[in-house]
Amino acid sequence: MLRLNKICACALLAMASLLRIAPALAANNDPVILVHGVLGFGPDTYPGPKFLYWGGYHNIASTMALYHGPHTVIAAGVSPIASNWDRAAELYAQIKGGCVDYGAIHVRRYGYPGQPQKPDARCWAADPNNNPGNYPLAFYPQWDAAHPIHLIGHSQGGTTIRALVQLLEHGSPDGDEGGGELYRGGKVGWVRSVVTISAPHNGTTLRDAALDVLPNLRSPLRDMLDNQLEQWELAPDGAREFNLWALTSPSVYWFSIGTLATEAGSWCCNGTDRVIAPVQSSQFQYPRADMIAYFKPYAGAFIVPSLMQPGMGSYTQSAPGRVRIDSAWFPNDGVVNTISMRAPDGHPVRDYDGSAVKGTWNFLGNYRGYDHFDILNWPNTGPSADPVYERICDIIFNLD
C-alpha cells in the first residue's frame, strides 16, 4: 500500500506538470520533499502500524498536499544515522533517479570502515518503463532548473538539505568523485526554497551534556554520540566547520523555524515539570510539563538523576579553540538548542516580515511550547503543528 501511495503521488505530480495545474492565486506549484532528522525514517520503513515520522498517526504530507491544493508533497527516507553528505547523496538519488553514490574521495577520507562508494540496491528508477531491477520509482526525474522543488527538513534533515544544495551548485570540493553526477556542481536553480524546522545549524549541546553524565558507559548510542556526531556536524564544533562549507546560496529562498519547550526557572507556576525539577534557579532553563518525557531528564539545569551534571538548560563551556557555549544556549526543545535553529553562524539572516528575500535566512520565529516532536504532530500533550505547515504552504507556494 505504501508503495502504491508513492506511485500515485508520482502520477499526480506528472499530471500536474502536464496540465499546468496550480491552485488559485499561487505563484508556483513545485513539488515538496520532506526530509527527516537523525534516527528518523521514511514512510515505508517504520515497523509500527501506520505511524509516520511526518505526522505520527496523522499525515503531514497529505495535509499539505490538500491545503489550497492539489500539491505534490512526498516524504523521503534517508539513512537514520549518517553524515549530512551521505544523506544528501541518498536524497539526490531518490528525487532524480539512479543509484546512490557517496563519492570515491569522500568515502576514502571520511567513510566508515568497509563503506562502499555505491551500495547495492540503493537505487531508484527514473523511467518506470525501463526498470529491470524493479527499483522504487524516483520522486521527480525531470528535476532541473526548469523544474525546481521545495525542500523541508526537520532537525538533521535541515542540515542534510544544506549539504545537498551545496553539492548541487558547487559539487565536491575535491573535484571528481568517481563520475557521480551530483559532484559536478553547476545545478543552480534546482531548488526554489528550503525550510528548516528545529535544525541544529550550529549544533546541539545534547551530545556534550549526555557524554558528561556517563563518561564510562559503553553502548552503541554512546559510541555514536562520542565518535560520530562531531564528524557529522551535529555538535557545535563540527557544525562550525560544516557552516564554512555549506553556504547560503543566493539563488534559493531560505526559511527557518525554531521550537522552544523550556522555561526560565521560577519558584512556581511556569508550566515546567516540577517532579523533574522541584527546585529551580531563574538563571537556568527547565523542561515544560508537556515536553516529550524521554528528553526531560536532559533538557533542564541538571541531568536527572545525576544532579551534579549540567543539562542543556545550564551547560556551558569556553575551552580554547572550541565553540563557546553560554547562557544563550540554555533554551531548547529537548534535543536542539533554540538559538541554533535560527540560522548558521556567520550567514545572512533576517526576521521574516511578510516578504521573502533570496540568499538570506528568513526566520519565521520560535514556536513556544513545541518540543522537538510536537512540531511533527507526534502523540503528546503539546500543541498541534498543523498551523505551522499551513503557514509554510502559504509562503512557499507564493514564491516567484
Spell out the alpha helix ranges (H) of the chain.
2-19, 60-66, 84-96, 104-110, 156-170, 206-213, 220-227, 236-245, 296-299, 386-396
**pLDDT the model gives residue 205:** 93
pLDDT at residue 110 tops 80: yes
Per residue in 34-74, pLDDT tens? 999 988 888 876 555 688 999 999 999 999 999 998 999 99
Q: How far apart are CA 193 and CA 281, in angstroms?
A: 41
**Percentage of residues in the chain having pLDDT higher than 90:** 73
By mean pLDDT, which of 57-66, 215-224, 245-254, 290-299 is the weakest?
215-224
- Identify which has the larger pLDDT, 16 or 129: 129
Q: Which residues contact 282 (CB under 8 A, 6 or more apart)?
A: 264, 265, 266
Give mean pLDDT, residues 7-17. 44
* Residues shown for the chain: 400
- CA 287-260-192 angle, to 5 degrees, is 150
Whole-model pTM?
A: 0.89
By mean pLDDT, which of 36-45, 335-344, 369-378 is the weakest?
36-45
**pLDDT the model gives residue 4:** 35
Give mean pLDDT, residues 221-238. 62
Per residue in 63-107, pLDDT tens? 999 999 899 999 999 998 889 999 999 999 999 999 999 999 999
By mean pLDDT, which of 132-136, 221-225, 277-281 is the weakest?
221-225
**pLDDT the model gives residue 207:** 73
By mean pLDDT, which of 134-143, 215-224, 235-244, 376-385 is the weakest?
215-224
Q: How far is CA 297 from the centre of its chain?
A: 23
- Residue 385 C-alpha cell reads as 503543528
- Identify which has the larger pLDDT, 13 or 243: 243
pLDDT at residue 214 tops 50: no
- Identify which has the larger pLDDT, 290 or 8: 290
- pLDDT tier at 13, thresholds 50, 70, 90: very low
- On average, the pLDDT of the chain sits at 88
**pLDDT the model gives residue 294:** 87
**pLDDT the model gives residue 2:** 36
Neighbours of 314 (CB within 10 A): 22
- pLDDT tier at 226, thresholds 50, 70, 90: low
DSSP letter string, 218-260: --HHHHHHHHTTTTTT-SHHHHHHHHHHS---TTSEEEEEEEE
**pLDDT the model gives residue 128:** 93
**pLDDT the model gives residue 25:** 61
pLDDT at residue 1 tops 80: no
Sheet with 32-35, edge to edge strand ranges:
73-75, 32-35, 149-154, 191-197, 253-260, 361-368, 349-351
Give mean pLDDT, residues 154-181. 96
Helices 156-170, 236-245: crossing angle, 10 deg rounding = 30
**pLDDT the model gives residue 230:** 44
Max avg pLDDT among 7-21, 69-83, 303-317: 69-83
- Is the omega angle on the peptide bond into residue 70 within 30 degrees of 0, that is, cis? yes
- pLDDT tier at 22, thresholds 50, 70, 90: very low
CB 288 within 8 A of CB 272: yes
H or E element in which residue 152 lies: strand 149-154
By mean pLDDT, which of 30-44, 157-171, 366-380 is the weakest?
30-44
By mean pLDDT, which of 5-14, 62-71, 191-200, 223-232 is the weakest?
5-14
- Residue 49 C-alpha cell reads as 502500524
**pLDDT the model gives residue 112:** 82
